[in-house]
Amino acid sequence: AQGPGVRISSRVPPDNLYTSTAALWKLYPTDTTPPPPVFQYGDLIPRDSQPTSSVSINFSAGTDVVWHWSAGAHQWVHSYAGASDVDALDGKPVTTANVVIQIVNFTYGPYAESTGGTGDVESVTTGTGEGWVLRDGLAIHVTWSRPSTSSPTSFVDDGGHAVTLSPGRTWVELLLSTTAAQKGALTFSR
């Protein structure tokens, strides 16, 4: 039996496998219980939030990511490797209401990413760590916490107050702790 995925010819495996929410729901037609929320959303913004016009994340050579705040669109706009990131389906820039940056530890998995290479890098998204929540043109330094993979991730600011996300789409950037420790890995512009 074929799964709910579709491979496209314009990309190479494994980056050419796509699915949709509708196709995944068809796998379990009688289970109509929605999953628990992954994040908490709300309007309250901590007082110590810093106005931010952009954030640059230098993952590795040639794979830098920049998120620019567009006040007019009230969205963060994504660029990758120095070029605007455009949605292939509608030709519009990729945007989001929230950007969550989590600094995470990692393990090596069983799959070599290149011939002779180590195993694949698998981010550890349980436990606790440092990070940032970008929302409403602001950057909020947070500590993230997630006790188990079945738990939502929660965020608290430096004052110990809960930080929620702005209602809308959320993009999560997982930044390895070893990369985050390097100078210039994360740059905020005001």
Show Cβ contacts of residue 89 under 8 Å, excluding neighbours closer than 6 positions. Answer: none
- Secondary structure class of 138 (helix, strand, coil): strand
User: What percent of the chain has a predicted confidence (pLDDT) above 90?
Assistant: 62
Tens of pLDDT along 96-124?
999 999 999 998 888 777 677 777 888 99
- The reported pTM is 0.85
Q: State the pLDDT at residue 1.
A: 43
Least confident of 11-20, 22-31, 65-74, 97-106: 11-20
Average pLDDT over residues 77-101: 92
171: nearest Cα among 66, 120, 111, 96:
96
Is there a contact between 121 and 104 (Cβ–Cβ < 8 Å)?
Answer: no
